[in-house]
Chain A
């Protein structure tokens, strides 16, 4: 089954006459790392929102075409249903962490899905081990560096056990040490067979990808080393 497929996807925000995404066809294979590059304002985050169902479920606008996650149309899925198949890590770790401790943050998703307590405990331990942050289990988010916070945001997503991950410029607001942490983690997740979509404008991070596309004028094209 194809993890992510977009068919003739177009999108326009309600208050904006510009069509952000135009007739996009995209298929991402299982275990692949796909990077999408583009200039600021090119619509990279909008593409992420369409691929993970935030559009049309949260943001309003004119969306045509379809996005399929594991063969299911995002229009027919609820966000909680999507959350178990696909996780997204956003740019700013501060706006993704809302609990008082790392443990609570990671437990939040499984708690919402009524996962039994013993299983939540196991997932918290396991995801903290995956991101190498076991010793910070009872720390508060404020006690962590930017890179560590982003890893916790990722761990919080991983606790829902999705097979597909989207990183929406997840390395743009962290220092070089933090970037290295997240890059290493992306490679580790690829080894585990996860399908990964990275939205990036940092050329250094594009090297992680199996395939790089560039979003320009609302359309996706193969990347030839130039964003313009």
Chain B
């Protein structure tokens, strides 16, 4: 099934919103775990790579372990599970809240990964057809389009800095931060120049000539989009109902 279903980006957006909303409102760990499984299944259904997702989630494990301890130390009450003298290092409340936070992050990341299965042009068109102002959708386009170019420029500047004899790996952390500040002025200059050139090029191609514009490509919902949205709504309501019933 993975990789074979071509959904409208608006359908994917609907799925992402439903899943993310559940992640925010639910507190029950079992329900959060269920939503995470559904998010991963939705990602696979939309043609996304679960292996890539697991790779991203793995990098965040250390942060969530830290969150569990921070929650335990700063949250009063609960049964201490690990303590040093008077200081509670790990408590059942801290552990529960840490797991809740971790699951929420995982759900949001998994659902966001669903959007990456559409090409950016389709997402922008989807936003426009959802009545998002074209200027805002276009800003998103430009940001996505120019991000790799800016990243390459940062790498070039870093290389230039290192070619002047600064080995960043051997420089102490604070000095390294100072070195990064040298990135700022050439980067800002480059960004301003690019944005100016870009805006002139856009103006000379009639950008915002009229309040409305036509689109060469238009998205159309298909039967499978309606089916997915209906199923998504049913599951969403079922989980909300279960959560309310469970109190």
Q: Which residues of A contact B (CB under 8 A)?
A: 52, 54, 57-58, 78-80, 82-84, 87-88, 90, 92, 94-96, 98-101, 103-104, 107-117, 120-121, 124, 142, 156-157, 160
Contacts and interface: CB of A to CB of B under 8 A. Distances in A.
B66 interface: no
Contacts of B212: 114
B205 A115 contact: no
Given A98-B141, A160-B206, 4 more contacts: A58-B200, A58-B203, A98-B145, A98-B201
B121 A99 contact: yes
18 contacts: A58-B203, A82-B204, A90-B197, A94-B149, A99-B145, A100-B119, A100-B141, A101-B121, A103-B216, A108-B207, A111-B216, A112-B205, A112-B210, A113-B206, A113-B209, A117-B216, A117-B218, A120-B214
B233 to A, nearest CB: 31
Given A95-B194, A98-B145, A111 B201 contact: no
B214 A114 contact: yes
B73 to A, nearest CB: 47
B213 A114 contact: yes
Contact of A124 (B149, B202, B216): B216
Nearest to B195: A95
B214 A117 contact: yes
Contacts of B203: 54, 57-58, 79
B211 to A, nearest CB: 10
Nearest to A52: B204
Contacts of B119: 100
> Shortest 4 CB-CB distances between A and B: which pairs?
A80-B209, A95-B197, A80-B206, A112-B206
Interface of B: 119-121, 141-142, 144-146, 148-149, 194, 197-210, 212-218
Contact of A109 (B206, B208, B215, B218): B206
What does DSSP make chain A's interface, helix, strand, loop or mixed? helix
B197 A116 contact: no
Contact of B216 (A79, A87, A90, A104): A104
A52 B200 CA distance: 11
Contacts of B194: 95
B197 A114 contact: no
A228 to B, nearest CB: 28
Contacts of A107: 216
Nearest to A166: B204
Nearest to A95: B197
Contacts of B145: 98-100
A156 B145 CA distance: 17
A79 B197 contact: no
B214 A111 contact: yes
A110 B207 CA distance: 10
A103 B197 CA distance: 21
Contact of B200 (A54, A78, A116, A120): A54
Which of B119, B148, B216 has the largest number of chain A CB atoms within 10 A?
Answer: B216
A83 B206 contact: yes
A112 B121 contact: no
Nearest to A159: B205
Nearest to A88: B204
Contacts of A98: 141-142, 145-146, 198, 201-202
B207 A87 contact: no
A109 B144 CA distance: 20
A128 to B, nearest CB: 13
A75 to B, nearest CB: 16
Contacts of A78: 209
A83 B198 contact: no
A183 B13 CA distance: 46
Contacts of B213: 111-114
B31 to A, nearest CB: 38
A87 to B, nearest CB: 7
Nearest to B205: A109
Nearest to B216: A107
Contacts of B204: 52, 54, 79, 82-83, 87-88, 157
Contact of B201 (A82, A96, A113, A121): A96
Contacts of B201: 90, 95-96, 98
Contacts of A156: 205
A52 B203 CA distance: 11
A72 B119 CA distance: 42
